[in-house]
Amino acid sequence: MPINPSERQIITVRPIIVPSAGRDIELRAKVTAPATGENLPVIVFSHGNAWSMDGYGPLVDLWATAGFVVVQPTHLDSRRYGFGFDDPRFGTIWRTRIDDLHAILDDLDGILANVGGLNDRADHSRVAVAGHSWGAQTAGTLLGARVFDADGVPGEGFTHPGVKAGVLIAATGTGDSLTPFAVEHLPFMRPDYSTMTSPALVITGGEDRSAMSTRGPDWFTDAYHLSPAPKRLLTILDGEHTLGGVAGEAVAETSDENPARVALVAKAVVGYLLDVLGLDHEPWKELAEDTATGHDAYQVESKE
């Protein structure tokens, strides 16, 4: 499938109101998809803290160009809603985020029907979840990860039967490495990956050093090393937390702006999902073979 935006037209519809419970602000989503094509696989994408459905254009457009339908909700922690670390509701937004993804998956047919009958062109048997940063932790719960409480007891499970695989980009590591600030303000940042049994690709940056962790870039590999197979790990050696600018060009959070790096992330996600969803094994095979010969930009590991 092509990965060049000039080779295939895409369409975008926003906002789509998604039925949801327990929210004082309605759940809104954006859908980006190929203008033509049938049996299109679906990615439900969870944004990082403070972002919205309007972010991550560099990734989303490339995924749609490659033949995927992409659905992006705006979570309550979006900066457009004015939530911050000191908001008394902030400590429970992690749970609302998970509910948002479930609401989208439960009403996927209805959501896509708002996009010119896209529901008839989508393949509902090939649905993946993906996320960046906090969104990666959110997506991981639908793959089987749980959250430890203050006593180290894992909480309830949030898997969804409609999800076949996932992609975690710069996912939170274990909670025993949190800084005092993170312990105080982000008590939910304690994932338990031991139960994350669904297939997943974990993408990390070799230079990603979080102010929330006392560890270095290896913190972001926990989702791979501490979860059961099947899993794959892509380490982009010079990448920082936004991996070249996945959330958008020239945004304030991007400290390592590099469009080629963003394109690599997009290409890897496409190749992995085509492979794990049984659509085309060659793109991922080519990427993995490149690292086997000593690629200087990234490394690939796997456990099957």
Domains defined for the chain, CATH in brackets? 5-303 (3.40.50.1820)
Nearest-angstrom CA–CA distance, 10 and 3: 12
Question: What local confidence, expressed as pLDDT, does residue 172 receive?
Answer: 93
Question: What local confidence, expressed as pLDDT, does residue 91 receive?
Answer: 77
Nearest-angstrom CA–CA distance, 189 and 177: 10
pLDDT (mean) for 212-217: 94
**Contact by Cβ (8 Å): 160, 64:** no
CA dihedral 119, 124, 126, 129 (to 10 degrees): 80
pLDDT (mean) for 75-99: 85
Q: What is the per-residue pLDDT across 133-161, written as a single tens digit (0 to 9) for each? A: 999 999 999 999 999 987 788 899 999 99
Nearest-angstrom CA–CA distance, 202 and 102: 21
Nearest-angstrom CA–CA distance, 134 and 52: 12
Q: Which amino acid is at 302?
A: S
| β partners of residue 201 | 167, 232
pLDDT (mean) for 44-60: 94
Nearest-angstrom CA–CA distance, 14 and 71: 10
| β partners of residue 302 | 232
Tracing tokens 């602000």 back to the chain, one arrives at 25
Q: Pick from 54, 47, 55: which is nearest to 13 by CA?
A: 54
Question: What local confidence, expressed as pLDDT, does residue 5 receive?
Answer: 47
Q: Widest CA span of the chain, in angstroms? A: 53
Q: What is the per-residue pLDDT across 99-121, written as a single tens digit (0 to 9) for each? A: 999 999 999 999 999 999 999 99
Q: Which amino acid is at 92?
A: T
The DSSP H or E segment spanning 259 is helix 259-276
Q: What is the per-residue pLDDT across 34-45, written as a single tens digit (0 to 9) for each? A: 999 999 999 999
For residue 1, pLDDT over 80 is answered with: no
Question: What local confidence, expressed as pLDDT, does residue 102 receive?
Answer: 98
Nearest-angstrom CA–CA distance, 197 and 216: 26
Whether the CA torsion 249, 252, 254, 255 is positive or negative: it is positive
| β partners of residue 148 | 154
Q: What is the per-residue pLDDT across 195-206, written as a single tens digit (0 to 9) for each? A: 999 999 999 999
Question: What local confidence, expressed as pLDDT, does residue 238 receive?
Answer: 94
Phi then psi dihedrals of residue 265, to 5 deg: -60, -50
pLDDT (mean) for 46-54: 93
pLDDT (mean) for 56-79: 95
Report residue 228 as tokens: 């059961």
Question: What local confidence, expressed as pLDDT, does residue 15 receive?
Answer: 96
For residue 88, pLDDT over 90 is answered with: no
Question: What local confidence, expressed as pLDDT, does residue 29 receive?
Answer: 98
Q: Give how far Cα 97 sits from Cα of 10, 14, 80, 118, Å.
A: 27, 19, 16, 25
Question: What local confidence, expressed as pLDDT, does residue 22 receive?
Answer: 80
Question: What local confidence, expressed as pLDDT, does residue 250 receive?
Answer: 66
Q: Give 221's DSSP letter.
A: G
Q: What is the per-residue pLDDT across 10-49, written as a single tens digit (0 to 9) for each? A: 999 999 999 998 888 999 999 999 999 999 999 999 999 9
**pLDDT over 90 percentage in the chain:** 76
Sequence-distant (6+) residues with CB within 8 A of 168 are 130, 131, 136, 137, 139, 140, 200, 201, 202, 203, 223
Report residue 44 as tokens: 């439900």
